[in-house]
Amino acid sequence: MHEVLVEWLPNLMKRLPEFWKAAGDTVLMEVWAGAICFVLGMIFGIILTVTKPGGIMENRPVYQTLDKIINLFRSIPFIILLTALMPLSRFIMGTAIYVRGVIVPLVFGATPFFSRQVESALAQTDKGLIEAALSMGSSPFEIIFRVYLRESVAPLTRATTITAISLLGLTAMAGAVGAGGLGDFAIRYGHDRNMIDITWVTVIVLVLAVSIVQWLGDKIARKNTH
């Protein structure tokens, strides 16, 4: 087995520890940035949903401001966000490189996208359910948790899946500015030194990761659809 692998993947097998480290870094970036982005995106998505005109806590200034900020960040290409946010990253995380240094731009890159995804997931909630809940004396907060979130598990799962996958893409890009991870690994060896086997293995690992996330997301979504 080992011999076969060495024969087919000579460059990778020589750098196996480095490969595992890179994969671990990617997982770290994905999990940390993903977790922060999940919490923030949920909060922003909910705020957008309830404050929009006709929402249960309608509030024009709050909605307009948040809406504009999200649009602003969504229109900035991630590669530019990466460099533009370096000072902020140094301020918050103490560094602008390695996994630590790239969490801030990853969060800024993915949160606006996820907030919109959450907003549109929650918007699928039947207005009639909100009406019914109001008529039963539910407070706005109760409606957020017991109606909006509870009834939107499936679309929220789908939103999370999509965001997790696109975040994986961003972590690969972040590799370019010294964050490490699989993207960096593939560029440094696969591209710069023309080690095709490394490129291919990285691609396969990423495709597998995406498939697993997608499969898990679909499974949860299906389980919550009645």
Partner 1 sequence: MIELEHVSKRFTLDDKTVTAVDDVSLKIFDGEIFGIIGFSGAGKSTLVRCINLLERPDVGNVKINNIEFTSLKPKDLYNARKKIGMIFQQFNLMPSRTVFQNVAYPLKGMSKDAISKKVRELLNLVEIGDKENAYPSELSGGQKQRVAIARALANEPDILLCDEATSALDPQTTYSILKLLKELNKKLSLTIVVITHEMEVVKTICTRAAVMDAGRIVETGDVFNIFSRPQHQMTKNFVRSTSHLSKLDDLMRENSPMVELKPGEMLVKLTYGQLDVSEPLISIAARQFNIDLNIVLADVEIVAGALIGGTVLILSGEAAKIHEAVNYFKSKGVRVDVIKSEIEDAIYKEEEVYAETEVRL
Q: Which residues bind partner 1 (CB under 8 A)?
A: 126, 128-129, 131-139, 146-147, 150-151, 153, 224, 226
Cα 48 to Cα 44, 59, 63, 140, 220: the distances in Å are 6, 9, 6, 14, 25
Cα 6 to Cα 3, 39, 137, 160: the distances in Å are 5, 43, 68, 38
Class of residue 76 by CB neighbours under 10 A (exposed 0-12, middle 13-18, buried 19+): middle
Minimum Å gap between C-beta 104 and partner 1 is 36
* SS3 at position 94: coil
52 vs 188 by CB, closer to partner 1:
52
47 vs 147 by CB, closer to partner 1:
147
Minimum Å gap between C-beta 163 and partner 1 is 22
CA dist 45 and 25 (Å) reads 28
